[in-house]
Amino acid sequence: MKGKLIALMLLVGLTLGFVSWSAVVHHGGHISNENFKLERIGSARSVKLIIVYDNNPYDPRLKAAWGFACYINVEGTKILFDTGGDPKILLDNMEELNIPIEEIQIIVLSHIHGDHAGGLFGVIKKNNRVKVYLPASFPEDFKSKVKRFGCEVVEVAKPLKVCDGVMSTGELGARIKEQSLIINSSMGLIVITGCAHPGVVNIVKKAMELTGESVYLVVGGFHLGGFSKERIEAIVGQLRSLNVTKVAPCHCSGDLARGVFKDSFNANYVKAGVGKSLEIEDSTRYVAELFIVRRA
């Protein structure tokens, strides 16, 4: 049934692109008529990720500091996911890696904490042409300050398209609202987390639920620092049961968790830290086009 639904969505999307229609949708056992839109997310054959800010050392040329930021190049669209805590460290690391700050087109902030959003104003002071995607729950004064720099602000509450092949999970979690990124790559979904406050397993499940696709790689903070080995092993088991292929835990994941993931995933464990680069590209592999259904 799920396969038929996806096939129908693809057929409608390819025929009409971005369409609206009145749909009959099941909600917890009852049926309601609502207006929906089918939005094309697309796919990406070439993806490059570079962790430009992290507290785990990797490239000795770069400074490690508490926080997270990841540079993403998706077929020429250049995204900065999170901005670390110190703008000088972020900008120095990016300069050392020959990543011009002026070329960044999109900034996505996962959540409000300073070790993820603290470098933003240092970046937009040098490049205010970026579009900034931030959770709708961010304080109004923060949003206003970003706008005063001249940046376009996109408030994210629900899942939405960021650029071709890339989408946001939308705000997840209760106490701390957080968004993650999903990239539809040639190898499968790439899920990038900031701190994974909503739970890394919940984020992966959400990515699969939204797309119907399997997860190839999860990279970022898994928020497992201070967790017991038994609890970490249970989370690892859940991710393996979801058929996640590769993991690259960093930032707030914790050394114990990184060790448990390494022992479980073996060759599919990716040692990550500041300066780690990952390229995912396969021009021969078929990449399914993604579409999401959104309430109009």
> Domains of the chain, with CATH numbers?
42-284 (3.60.15.10)
Q: Can you tell me the distance from the alpha carbon of 108 to that of 179, in angstroms, rounded to the nearest whole number?
A: 9
Q: By CB neighbour count within 10 A (0-12 exposed, 13-18 middle, 19+ buried), where does 99 fall?
A: middle
What's the pTM? Answer: 0.85
pLDDT confidence of residue 293: 62
State the burial class of residue 110 (Cβ atoms within 10 Å of its Cβ: 0-12, 13-18, 19+).
Answer: buried
pLDDT score of 281: 77
Q: Provide the Cα torsion 187, 59, 113, 234; round to 10°.
A: 50
Count the helices and strands in the chain (H runs, E runs).
8, 16
- Which pLDDT score, from 0 to 100, does residue 42 have? 86
Name the CA radius of gyration of the chain, rounded. Answer: 19
For 142-161, b where at least 16 C-beta lie within 10 A, e where not — what string?
Answer: beeebeebebebeebeebbb
Q: What's the pLDDT score for residue 220?
A: 98
Residue from 167, 247, 244 nearest 210 by CA: 167
Whole-angstrom distance, CA of residue 160 vs CA of residue 109: 14
Q: Over its length of 296 residues, how does the chain's per-residue pLDDT go in tens digits?
A: 545 444 444 444 444 443 333 333 333 333 333 454 557 888 888 999 999 999 999 999 999 999 999 999 999 999 999 999 999 999 999 999 999 999 999 999 999 999 999 999 999 999 999 999 999 999 999 999 999 999 999 999 999 999 999 999 999 998 899 999 999 998 999 999 999 999 999 999 999 999 999 999 999 999 999 999 999 999 999 999 999 999 999 999 999 999 999 999 999 999 999 999 999 976 555 566 667 666 55
- Mark out the alpha helices in 129-287 (DSSP H runs): 140-148, 200-211, 229-241, 255-265
